[in-house]
Each structure stands twice: as C-alpha cells, then as structure tokens.
C-alpha cells in the first residue's frame, strides 16, 4: 500500500502568519496529490488537486507545491477560518486512494 505521511501532526501558528504543511509519499505519485480541509463536524473540502491547482472557490492564500514524493501546502496570511485539520491524498494508485493521517492547524 502506498503510504502517505504528513508532518507535523499539530502546527501552531498565529493569525496573519504563514503555515507550511508537509506530505510525503512512500513512492512517487506522479503529481496526483490532493489536499483537503476538514473542520469539526464537517465533511472534508477539496482545496488543491494535481499538487498545485486550486479547486473552484479556494482563496489564493492556499497554494500547493511539490513533485515525486514530497509535497507542501502553504497557507499565507492565516485567517481564523483556516484553523482546521488538513489531509493530503494520493490518487495515483487508483482506486486504492490513501490519505495522510492529517495535520491539525491550531491558533498560537
């Protein structure tokens, strides 16, 4: 199974600052990497697909980068509504999609 590993597990950042979340795959996912945001009691929401393409309606402060096995989600100018759990997911190994264990972004 293709394993996705996210770091850190918890990230404390002040509003207005930048958050950098990491995701590593156990083998290349050929850029087929998505990021989701999940708030308590809510379903995940697609943020990024293709490693770097923002989904419809996602603010420009969210950006994705990376290739091969290493990927990054950057959130610039953190706003209060951005504090949530973030998951990466590979879809290269269809349909055995696998998710990372999540990074909780909390207010510092």
Partner 1 sequence: EVQLVESGGGLVQPGGSLRLSCAASGFTFSSHELNWVRQAPGEGLEWVSYISGSGSTILYRDSVKGRFTISRDNAKNSLYLQMNSLRAEDTAVYYCARLADLPYFDSWGQGTLVAVSA
Residue 102 engages partner 1 in binding (rule: CB under 8 A): yes
**Region from 21-29, 59-67, 75-83, 90-98 binding partner 1, contact rule CB under 8 A:** 90-98
Selected binder of partner 1 within 50, 59, 68, 77 (CB under 8 A): 50
CA 56 vs CA 48, 53, 59, 103, 105: distances in Å: 9, 9, 9, 22, 22
Query: In the complex, what is the shortest distance from the CB of residue 32 to partner 1, in angstroms, rounded to a whole number?
Result: 7
d(CA 67, CA 48): 14
| Burial tier of 90 (Cβ tally within 10 Å: 0-12, 13-18, 19+) | buried
**Region from 17-25, 44-52, 57-65, 66-74 binding partner 1, contact rule CB under 8 A:** 44-52
Nearer to partner 1, 14 or 65 (CB): 65
Nearest to 87, CA basis, from 104, 74, 107: 104
Q: Which two tokens stand for residue 29?
A: 């996912």
Task: Note the residues at the interface with partner 1 (CB under 8 A).
Answer: 32, 34, 36, 42-46, 49-50, 55, 87, 89, 91, 94-102
């Amino acid at each position: 199974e293709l394993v996705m590993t996210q770091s850190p597990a918890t990230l404390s950042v002040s509003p207005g600052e930048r958050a950098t979340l990491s995701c590593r795959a156990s083998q290349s996912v050929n850029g087929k990497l998505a990021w989701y945001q999940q708030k308590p009691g809510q379903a995940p929401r697609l943020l990024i697909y293709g490693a770097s393409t923002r989904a419809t309606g996602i603010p420009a402060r969210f950006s994705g980068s990376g290739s091969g096995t290493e990927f990054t989600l950057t959130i610039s100018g953190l706003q209060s509504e951005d504090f949530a759990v973030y998951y990466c997911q590979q879809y290269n190994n269809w349909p055995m999609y696998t998710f990372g264990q999540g990074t909780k972004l909390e207010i510092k």
